[in-house]
Amino acid sequence: MNSFEELALTPKLATALSKGGFDIPTPIQAQAIPIALSGHDIMGLAQTGTGKTLAFTIPMLDAILQNPSKPAPKTAKALILAPTRELVNQIAQTLKTLTQQMKIRVTTIVGGTSVSKNLHVLSRGTDILVATPGRLIDLLKRDGVDLSKINHLVLDEADQMLDIGFIHALRKIVSYINEERQSQLFSATMSKQMEQLSRAYLKNPSKVEVNPPNRTAENIAQSVQFVQKPQKPEALRTILNAHPKLASLIFVRTKHGAERLKDSLVADGFKATSVHGNKSQGQRERAIKQFRAGEMQILVATDVAARGIDIPLVGLVVNYELSNVPENYVHRIGRTARAGRSGIAVTLCTSEEVKQLRAIEKLIKMEIYVDGETPDHMHTLKKEAQHPKSSKPKRRRHRGASKSEKSGKFTKAKAPNKRTARRKKTAA
């Protein structure tokens, strides 16, 4: 498929795509859309920024436009589940942009918003429901939503939903949905859990893949700098000063660490803001809006808060702290080099983080370029992480053994004489 015009889409949708400037499909769209239009389930493997939102929303909108019935109270025709509020809002915004001239209702349900307002909006029914699993479960318990009329189910960033513990919520939600539905599952990485999820919720799915699973985009210049922990702030400032015009996304592990680093950068004169779990939904949205508009050059974020942030012009990603989950590296640097652009990803690695670095390189099947010198002890640590020493199994104590205080050796305890034991029992 070389253009959207080749698809036999409903006239309203074709017009909306043309007005939106969507003429040439991305690789994931070219592969997935024709298959989804034919009614097949899809297992999609694609990095963020490849255009997968349109890949699953176009077939969904086309199906709804062909059957323009009014949704019943509390019901929805299609359900899109995503792991974070930011990603839900991003997907909903894309849908609302495409459906401006259509009588299609799009509803978002996320944590941090009023439950009573959620219930009120859903009481009228909706065409497309975009939600986070946690809040949707809450509304199901309150009998505020009916999922039995869902004909289209999408699990976006499914690997991230598994990472943050939504597997039980997903099982519960899917149990309410019509089994004759069409399902699409999209992920940036592939694991055994993802394969299990695919088998559980998809029926004979067609697999579409842009980048090989767990691989990073080729147009990202990746490098690692070995530093000690006290040197990290200065190393970060050097990196940022070397790229003063690039919108920069900095990843840390914790919520408190994100806020501390943001405050430090602001004190150094940088225009920085942050997103993390301790901020309200409104604060997070304002920070992302400022970053997207260019009012802030730097956004400091945790993994969960940054998932789903779609800012095409991010030019630099800095892994200030490495995640304990190797797959998060793929997601992090996927924030840059979006929509065919190039990007830079720099990792600051201490001796304590070498094991995480080695796990990442094993996952992506490549060694990351080292910018600067590699200290001797770092070489040793990397080798140890690659070839861990096998420890000898500990000697098991024999049952009933006791340790001699003098020799320090274990000696087998004497078994009691059965005849003597019977005599003692009789005497008693």
- CB contact at 8 A, 254 and 289: no
Q: What are 341's two structure tokens?
A: 């652009």
Q: Would you state the pLDDT for residue 16?
A: 92
- Report the alpha-carbon distance of residue 150 to residue 64 in Å, rounded: 11
**Residue found by looking up tokens 């201490």 in the block:** 350
Per-residue model confidence (pLDDT) at position 161:
86
The pLDDT of residue 66:
94
Q: What are the sequence ranges of the domains in the chain?
A: 4-209, 220-386
Take residue 96 and report the two structure tokens written for it.
């609302």
> Which amino acid appears at position 406 of this protein?
K
pLDDT of residue 393: 47
Q: Do domains 4-209 and 220-386 have the same CATH topology?
A: yes
pLDDT at 21: 84
The domain made up of 4-209 is a member of CATH 3.40.50.300: yes
In SS3 terms, the chain reads as CCCHHHCCCCHHHHHHHHHCCCCCCCHHHHHHHHHHHCCCCEEEECCCCCCHHHHHHHHHHHHHHHCCCCCCCCEEEEEEECCCHHHHHHHHHHHHHHCCCCCCCEEEECCCCCHHHHHHHHCCCEEEEEECHHHHHHHHHCCCCECCCCCEEEECCHHHHHHCCCHHHHHHHHCCCCCCCEEEEEECCCCHHHHHHHHHHCCCCEEEECCCCCCCCCCEEEEEEECCHHHHHHHHHHHHHHCCCCEEEEECCCHHHHHHHHHHHHHCCCCEEEECCCCCHHHHHHHHHHHHHCCCCEEEECHHHHCCCCCCCEEEEEECCCCCCCHHHHHHHCCCCCCCCCEEEEEEECHHHHHHHHHHHHHHCCCCEECCCCCHHHHHHHHHHHCCCCCCCCCCCCCCCEECCCCCCEECCCCCCHHHHHHHHHHC
d(CA 134, CA 108): 13
Q: What is the pLDDT of residue 250?
A: 97
- pLDDT for the residue 424: 44
Q: Top-level CATH class of 220-386?
A: alpha beta
Contacts of 165 (CB under 8 A, 6+ apart): none
What is the pLDDT tens value at each position of the chain, 428 positions in all?
778 888 889 999 999 998 888 888 888 999 999 999 999 999 998 876 678 899 999 999 999 999 989 999 999 999 999 988 888 998 999 999 999 989 999 999 998 889 999 999 999 999 999 999 999 999 999 999 999 999 999 999 888 888 778 889 999 999 999 899 999 999 877 777 788 888 889 999 999 988 666 667 778 999 999 999 999 999 999 999 999 999 999 999 999 999 999 999 999 999 999 998 888 878 888 998 899 899 999 999 998 766 666 677 899 999 999 998 888 898 888 888 876 678 999 999 999 999 999 999 998 889 999 998 777 666 676 666 666 554 444 444 444 444 443 334 433 444 445 455 444 444 44
